[in-house]
Amino acid sequence: MSATRRHRADIDALRALAIGLVVAFHARIPGFEGGFIGVDVFFVVSGFLITGLLLAELEDHGSIRLGRFWARRVRRLLPASALVLVITLLATVALTSPLAWRSTAEAGLWASLYAENLFLAAEEANYFAPEIRNPFVHYWSLAIEEQFYVVWPLLLAALARIAPRDRLRTVLAGGFGVLTVASLAHSVQLTEAGSTWAYYSPLSRAWEFAVGGLLAVGWPQVRSLIAGRGGADLALPLVAALAFAGSLLTTDAFTPFPGWRAVAPVAATLLVLAADVPAGSVVGRLAALEPIQWLGRVSYGWYLWHFPLLVLAEVRLPSFGPATRLAVVTVSLLLASLSLRLVENPVRFHPALGRRHLPNLWLALGLLVGSLAVVGVVDRAGAARLDEPRFAELARAVEDFERIEDRGCPPGADPAELAGCVWGDPSGERVVLVLGDSHADQWLPALDEIGRNEGIQFVVRTVVACPALPTDGFVTGECVETQHSQSEVVGLIEPDAVIITQWTGSMLGADEQVWVDSIRGFGSELAARDIGLLWIHDPPSFEDNPIDCLGIRSEPECAPGRDEAAAAEYHRALSRSGLTTPHVEFDPIELLCDDERCRLRRAGALVFRDSNHLTAEAARTFVPELADALLEAMDARSN
Q: What percent of the chain has pLDDT over 90?
A: 75
Residue 610: phi, psi to the nearest 5?
-155, -155
Q: What is the mean pLDDT of residues 91-114?
A: 96
Instruction: Report the pLDDT value the prediction gives residue 2, as an integer from 0 to 100.
Output: 58
Instruction: Report the pLDDT value the prediction gives residue 138, as an integer from 0 to 100.
Output: 96
Q: Which residues contact 272 (CB under 8 A, 6 or more apart)?
A: 10, 14, 236, 237, 240
Instruction: Report the pLDDT value the prediction gives residue 189, as an integer from 0 to 100.
Output: 96
Q: What is the mean pLDDT of residues 437-445?
A: 96
- The CA-based angle 433-436-441, given to 5 degrees, is 85
Q: Is the pLDDT of residue 131 over 70?
A: no
With bands split at pLDDT 50, 70 and 90, how would you rate the model's confidence at 474?
Answer: low
Instruction: Report the pLDDT value the prediction gives residue 388, as an integer from 0 to 100.
Output: 95
Cα–Cα distance for residue pair 634/532, rounded to 1 Å: 5
Q: How many helical (H) and strand (E) elements, i.e. helices and strands, does the chain have? A: 31, 8
Query: What CATH number was assigned to the domain covering residues 401-636?
Result: 3.40.50.1110
With bands split at pLDDT 50, 70 and 90, how would you rate the model's confidence at 417?
Answer: confident
Instruction: Report the pLDDT value the prediction gives residue 550, as an integer from 0 to 100.
Output: 94
State pLDDT tens for residues 561-575.
988 888 778 888 888
Cα–Cα distance for residue pair 458/140, rounded to 1 Å: 41
Q: Is the pLDDT of residue 451 over 80?
A: yes
Instruction: Report the pLDDT value the prediction gives residue 130, as an integer from 0 to 100.
Output: 64
Q: What is the mean pLDDT of residues 79-103?
A: 96
SS3 595: coil
SS3 598: strand
Instruction: Report the pLDDT value the prediction gives residue 239, as an integer from 0 to 100.
Output: 93
Q: What is the mean pLDDT of residues 415-443?
A: 93
Cα–Cα distance for residue pair 399/414, rounded to 1 Å: 28
This prediction's pTM: 0.89
Instruction: Report the pLDDT value the prediction gives residue 133, as an integer from 0 to 100.
Output: 81
SS3 553: coil
Q: What is the mean pLDDT of residues 211-220?
A: 96
Q: Is the pLDDT of residue 215 over 80?
A: yes
Q: Is the pLDDT of residue 475 over 80?
A: no
Instruction: Report the pLDDT value the prediction gives residue 228, as an integer from 0 to 100.
Output: 63
Q: What is the mean pLDDT of residues 49-57?
A: 96
Q: Is the pLDDT of residue 638 over 70?
A: no
Q: Is the pLDDT of residue 529 over 70?
A: yes
Instruction: Report the pLDDT value the prediction gives residue 4, as an integer from 0 to 100.
Output: 61
Q: Is the pLDDT of residue 346 over 90?
A: yes
DSSP for 534-579 reads EEEPPPP--SS-HHHHHTTS-HHHHPPBGGGGHHHHHHHHHHHHH-
With bands split at pLDDT 50, 70 and 90, how would you rate the model's confidence at 639?
Answer: low
Contact predicate 37/267, CB 8 Å: no
Domain range summary for the chain, segments of one domain joined by +:
9-385, 401-636
Instruction: Report the pLDDT value the prediction gives residue 471, as an integer from 0 to 100.
Output: 82
